Structure 1
Amino acid sequence: MGETAILTQSALLIGLLATFGAGMGAQLVAWRFKVPAIILLFGLGLLFGPGLGLLHPSQFFGPMFRPLISLLVAVVVAEGGMALDFRQLREAGEGVARLTMLALPVNWGLGALAAHFITGFDWGLSLLFGAIVVVTGPTVVMPLLRDAKLKPRIAAFLRWEAILNDPVGAILAGIVLEIMLLQVPAGHHHHHLVMAWSLDDLSGALGASCLGAMGGVVAAWGLKMLFTRDMVPEIFKVPILLSMILIIYQACTLLAEGAGLVAVTAFGVAIANFHIPGMADLRRTKEALVVLIVSVLFIILTADLQRSVLADVSGPIMALALAMAFVVRPLGITLSTIGSSMTWQERLFVSWVAPRGIVAAAVAGTVGMKLLGAGVPGGGLITPAVFAVIAVTMLASGLTLKPLARLLHLTMSNKPTVVIVGARPWTIDLAECLRQASIPAMLVDDSQSGLTMAQGRGLPTLHAEVLSPHGEEALEERPVDYLIAATGDCIYNGMVCSHLAPHLGRQRVFQVSPGVARLDFYHGLSRDARGRLLGQPEWTYMYFIQRYREGWRFVSLEVTPDDLPVLTAMMNEVTPPLVVLVVKRGAVLAIHSAEEGAIVLQPGDTVVAFASPFAQRKLHDNVSLHVVAECAANPEGHGHGQGAPSAPEAAPAVAGLSPTEQGSARPGEVKQKGDVV
């Protein structure tokens, strides 16, 4: 007996280790090769469970398996609710209303008809099946949206539909199931079930859902009071947030099946729209946790499928799954959006992208066991039918979402986009050079004067303060892959980089050097409080300003085999041309930073460099880079004096400022007329 327990524990530990390791491994592989992670996770679950028989989650956890799954799903749904900001409804409101109020009942009815006439399900089973698969899943939709770079409007359609409709489908399934079970007397089996709607069950479910929604909003308001009145230390905020989600879910689930999902959805939406200070940091922690939860859930739910269930996936069930993906969904969306402001491209895209997720799988597993326990004829076919729909819709949406979005022009950009904060003549010149190298660039500034010059050259601009809510919202509506903070205030540059690093990645935010002294590892600016260094430590804001006044400009150079050794040597030098970034083949961007390893150049790459007037003339005359580099290293011998002087220690005088004001500028900062000293 003891040996059996030890073996069971060992098998459980090995299974958990394999699940966590394989789950995160699949996420990394999917990120590296730009494929949907959900497909890999689903395949791993089939491999570990029905395939090799390594995982048996329901046997390991026993009766606690389904409750644990439900609690984890509640965390995922609540986190999805926190992504629903009412400001998104300004442009997408009508489409969201159509998808949540009209499309849901239409798809439910069409799904029930398809189940009845394709597989021969009774009307009761058909309505139950339609209720389970009527909604898309946030556990699948949100990861797909994270990687697809869709335009904000179409992304809002899919995001709101997935999160708001998810609890509604669970409630519908619960109502239909209760009515069906009431009509099966104990010890009797009926071959045909006649549906009779119970007003008591319907009104009870609606009442419980309303109470759950109100409870979620009240709980969110209470959390806001605790956090904003300094009644909770920072270290307790994430545990309290997670605990409230689990408590709200379980308490409302006791009222009615599905009411818990309504409550946590309302809780998440309320948290997002109360705009609690510091909640962005907590959300990032929860997002990371949700990635792990989703990875584990997909594997263990799929691994829990029995081989007998897979054997029940017959021809009619596969035909039903294909009909749900390619007939029912498009027809339902078409009927629901007639006369709406949605374009035909948006309607086609929403019709195609409808993956079912973990909520549908969890509800199907619970419903299947209850139907089998009650002896409902055909009840054992619900689970394989739902999982067939999940598999077909995940594969269809996961593999075709990006290509279809690009074909319909619903993506923001397929090339890496650089945002430059600070519109100055030299940054405008950099943006123009990037455009010539086929890299989109956008200039952002809170002053219109600098942007006017950029707009005159036809460059994309954004007039906003990037640290304001308006600036954040405006950046979300535009493609942003890399950031270069290039204002005269090194502290502000660091704030911008640290603020946007969680969204873009810390390796993709750069700032001009704050000065050699401020880069000291111990006494200088903390690496967490600034971005990566743009180029060399000597390349301060004033360095670029002064060189630009001397006639230096940004140029693009295509790397040839002959120039490869010279350009490679220039990566760590301060002799012109100064290599700023490299456009690799395939439009992959590599920005030069002395804090990281040298960029490996290859023939065919395009180098964007800052060149002196002498270097520009030589390059224009097609002089070899060998000669340009030698002349730059010995400017006296060539009589031009246009080498690379060391970075200036003091800023040049600015008209309109007194000597006292001039001297108050920090190293790397430029004082301008109108500044308050």
Structure 2
Amino acid sequence: MQATNLAIGILCVLGGGIAAQWVAWRFQLPAIVLLFAIGLFYGPGVGLIHPAAAIGPYFHPLVSMAVAFIVFEGGLALDLRQWRQAGEGVLRLTAAALPINWVLGSVAAHYVGHLSWGTAWLFGAIVVVTGPTVVLPLLRHTKLQPRVAAFLRWEAIVNDPIAAILATLVLECLLIKPSYSPGMSLAAVEIGPHLLFATMFAIGCGIFPAVLIKFLSSRDMLPEILRIPMILAFAMGVAAVCNLVMQGAGLMAATVFGMALANLHVTGMTELQRIKESLGVIVVSCLFILLTADLQRTVLSQLSLSIMALTFTVMFVVRPLGIFLSTIGARMSWQERLFVGWIAPRGIVAAAVSGVIGLQLHEAGYPGANLITPAVFALIASTMILHGFSLRPLARALRLTLSDEPALAIMGANAWSTNLARVLHERGIPVLLVDTYAPALDKAARFGVPVLNAELLSVEGQESLEERPADYLIAATPDAIYNGLVCARMAPDLGRQRVFQVSPGVARLDLYHGLSRDSRGKVLGEPGWNFSLIDSLYARGWRFDSFIVEETEGEVRMEEKEGMLFMTIRKGTAIWIFSAEDVMQNEPADGDIIVMFMPPAQTAAQPAGEAPIPA
């Protein structure tokens, strides 16, 4: 019976988590809010699962290891080259804002939440963290400007382990009994050396395995099949070892390990990036459901007006005031300061720390310690809902987002791809023409088309593309193999159904003898539309043209237009690029934009943007 209940619990957690992620992706909703709701339904709602009771004393250590994996994943994203762009703001948000928010949060907990001073200081230490488990998924679904995204990303990942250690130190200060002479400072004698040793030990444990992996990889002493397992084992191992020294030090070690790997430029990290992102989705989904489901109804019954008042004070007063004070004189615009001052969702680390530390303080007899867990979860729920749903609208209002229109990147600047980019640009479609040869981009630049002189297979090219992110890609160079490499590189970021390349030739499309589907993009148009054909048609006078679909009797007669259909665009929604490999073809609707490659007679008679498709 117990095995059956465990199987049902695993099915509910995994199934509910992945379903919530898909619904969030499909309807552009914050996934964290859905996961939180599922956890409340499973646990306090219907009592279907009780993780702590089912797993026993291993529940919180497993949560700690899962959180270590999440911060390790975040550390891999902290490239120090980003520091040049957002360094001052990041430093203010970590070194200055954290202690200010701690003091303000503790004062609010005492005077607004009516907690004792000891309990208030602990609450303030727990809630200074902005969880990467919440921030990073929100950043993936919002096209923020790179500088603003760097502020939130660095703050969430760097502050996460620092806040966990801070909460542990506060707890030790509250519980420790000094064994030295009364005249000596407790913090200096017992807490200070412990903190210094734990910090240095965690940093060393994070850097050493990264250097070791770099050493082994560069000397061909680490087989590919063991690279990723060894890295993941090190990430979990250093976190476990450092947690033995001080609770929370493991998160710092895992973060430093990830940062060291990212900045030592260890080869073969592309595969790890793909795997850790997939694992991260599963881990975050399961953790949020399990931690929320573990809430007891007695905890929820302790929610009171004072706790709700404390929650809104932290959100609307403490965080904005702390960011305002810490960024005085910083090279940050008022829009950036306002945005960062509002967006501060709390996540798994705050939930996990409050559940363990709050219980220890309560057992020690501190008054009001039993209110830490409900107060922290009230703040988590409120920030996830309000910040999750307001992030995108607020960023748009403050003009801190990139274009929300679906954007297209075209790799390879030649005569016909430049013509295509110009037609799309004149229609107001975000398009970026990319080439490694700068003079090839001159013609498009003269027409006002955004261009990028970079190699997309390079780190510089990837970083440049992040500043003007694309949703779709067409590789249009004469080299079919290079086109396939670009599509294979961009597929994990954009999606395999959104990267296209000019046909490499009918023979190379054979699934067995030709290019592997994983090594190329989808075919642009028909298999016979290779680069030579399109280029020769352009030389004979064929040109791209665009038309707006107008339905008069509910039907669009595409056959009246002679030419090659390349794409259908629905502004603000999607770009459907025609491919013979598509299982289903999109049907144009009223208001859609049709882009076709047409012979000279029709393009001359119907200038771009003037003639709609008749119905």
Taking structure 2 as the reference length, the TM-score comes to 0.96
Contact 2:168 2:247 in 1 (8 A): yes
Give deviations 1:305-333, integer Å, cap 9, x for gaps: 00000011100001101111111000000
What SS does structure 1 have at the residue aligned with 2:292?
Answer: helix
Distance (whole Å) between structure 1 residues aligned to residue 25 and residue 254 of structure 2: 29
- Corresponding residue number in structure 1 for 2:9: 15
Aligned equivalents of 1:366 and 1:60: distance in 2? 17
Does 2:400 match 1:410?
Answer: yes
Give the equivalent residue in structure 1 for 2:542: 552
| Cα distance between partner residues in 2 of 1:586 and 1:209 | 48
**1:615 and 2:605 equivalent?**
no
Q: Which residue of 1 aligns with 2:182?
A: none
Q: What code does the residue aligned with 2:548 have?
A: E
5 Å-filtered alignment, 1:108-127, equals: 108-127=102-121
Q: Which residues of 2 match residues 429-448 of structure 1 at below 5 A?
A: 429-448=419-438
Name the CA distance, whole Å, in 1 between partners of 2:117 and 2:177: 13
Which residue identity lines up with residue 520 of structure 1 in the other structure? D
Matched, 1:167 2:153: no
Asked if 1:534 is matched to 2:540, the reply is: no
Render the CA deviation track for 1:327-348: whole Å, top value 9, x for unaligned.
1000000000000001111101
In structure 2, C-alpha distance between the alignment counterparts of 1:516 and 1:280, rounded to whole Å: 31
Identify the match of residue 266 of structure 1 among 238, 251, 256: 256
CA distance in 2 between partners of 1:457 and 1:394 (Å): 44
Aligned to 1:35: 29
Report matched runs for 1:499-514 at 5 Å: 499-514=489-504
Q: Secondary structure at the match of 2:433?
A: strand
Shift of 1:569: 5.3
Instruction: State the alpha-carbon separation in 1 of the partners of residues 372 and 188 from structure 2.
Output: 23
Q: Hey, what does 1:577 align to over in structure 2?
A: 563
Task: Tell me the residue number matched to 1:82.
Answer: 76
Work out the CA distance in 2 between the residues paired with 1:176 and 1:324.
Answer: 19
Conservation of the 8 A alpha-carbon contact between 1:568 and 1:600: no
| Stretch of structure 1 that moved more, 262-271 or 580-589 | 580-589
Alignment of 1:174-185 (within 5 A): 174-182=168-176
> Which deviates more, 596-605 or 478-487?
596-605
- Given candidates 594, 597, 604, the residue that maps to 2:591 is 604
Q: Does 1:396 align with 2:386?
A: yes
For the Cα contact (< 8 Å) 1:205–1:259, is it kept in 2?
A: no
Partner of 1:309: 299
Which residues in structure 2 correspond to 1:27-426 (within 5 Å)?
27-182=21-176, 197=187, 199-426=189-416
Secondary structure of residue in 1 paired with 2:245: coil
Mapping for residues 627-646 of structure 1, pairs under 5 Å: none
Correspondence for 1:670: none
Greater mean alpha carbon deviation, residues 286-295 or residues 552-561: 552-561
Deviation of 1:620 (Å): 5.2
Unaligned runs of 5+ in 2: 180-184
User: Do residues 593 (structure 1) and 587 (structure 2) align?
Assistant: no
Q: Secondary structure at the match of 2:474?
A: strand
Q: 1:564: how far off?
A: 7.9
SS in 1 for 2:579: coil
Distance 1:261 1:604, change over 3 A: same
Structure 2 CA distance for partners of 1:13 and 1:184, relative to 1, 3 Å: farther
Structure 2 counterpart of 1:516, one-letter code: V
1:591 Cα offset (Å): 0.6
- 1:615 Cα shift? 2.0
Query: How high is the sequence identity, in percent, across the aligned residues?
Result: 52
For 1:454-465, list aligned pairs within 5 A: 454-465=444-455
Distance in 1, matches of 2:212 and 2:612, equals 69
Tell whether the 8 Å contact from 2:345 to 2:383 is kept in structure 1 after alignment: yes
Distance across 2 between alignment mates of 1:179 and 1:35 = 42
Task: Give the letter aligned to residue 585 of structure 2.
Answer: A
1:498, 1:257 → 2: CA distance? 42
Shift of 1:257: 1.4
Q: Secondary structure at the match of 2:130?
A: coil
SS in 1 for 2:377: helix
Q: Shift in Å at residue 184 of structure 1? A: 12
Q: Secondary structure at the match of 2:401?
A: coil
1:486 aligns with 2:515: no
Distance 1:119-1:566 versus aligned 2 partners, 3 A rule = closer
Give the distance between the partners of 1:165 and 1:547, measured in 2 at CA.
58
CA contact (8 A) 1:184 1:376 kept: no
**Does the 8 A contact of 1:356 with 1:390 survive in 2?**
yes
Shift of 1:209: 1.2
Distance in 2, matches of 1:152 and 1:249, equals: 30
Conserved 8 A contact 2:548-2:611: no
Distance 1:565 1:616 in 2: 23
CA distance in 2, matches of 1:566, 1:374: 75
8 Å contact kept, 2:548–2:613: no
Q: Structure 1 pair 538/565, CA: closer, same or farther in 2 (3 Å)?
A: farther
Match of 2:576, SS state, is strand
Structure 2 counterpart of 1:464, one-letter code: A
Point out the more displaced range, 349-358 or 547-556.
547-556
**What is the Cα deviation at residue 625 of structure 1?**
6.6
Return the letter of the residue paired with 1:248. Answer: V
More displaced 10-residue stretch of structure 1: 410-419 or 595-604: 595-604
Q: Please state whether the residue corresponding to 2:366 is helix, strand or coil.
A: coil
**Structure 2 letter corresponding to 1:22:** G
Distance 1:568 1:592 in 2: 14
Q: Which amino acid aligns with 2:551?
A: P
The 3-state SS of whatever aligns with 1:602 is coil
Answer yes or no: is the 8 Å Cα contact 1:439–1:587 preserved in 2: no
Unaligned runs of 5+ in 1: 1-6, 186-194, 628-677
- Structure 1: distance between partners of 2:490 and 2:218: 23
The total of aligned residue pairs comes to 608
1:407-465, Cα deviation, whole Å (9 max, x unpaired) = 11111111011111111121111011112332111111111111111111111001111
1:143 Cα offset (Å)? 0.4
Change (3 A) 1:566 1:51: closer
Letter in 1 for 2:157: I
Choose between structure 1 and 2 for higher RCO, CA contacts under 8 A separated by at least 6 residues: 2
Contact 2:241 2:250 in 1 (8 A): yes
Q: 1:565, CA displacement in angstroms? A: 6.1
Superposition deviation, residue 234 in structure 1: 2.0
**Alpha-carbon shift at residue 553 of structure 1 (Å):** 0.9
Partner deviation per Cα, 1:543-582 (whole Å, 9 max, x = no partner): 1211111111111112233698665558xxxx83211000
Distance in 2 between the 1:207 and 1:576 partners?
Answer: 75
C-alpha contact 1:433 1:555 (8 A) present in aligned 2: yes
Residues 44-69 of structure 1 show CA distances to partners (whole Å, capped at 9, x for unaligned) of 11111001100100000011110010
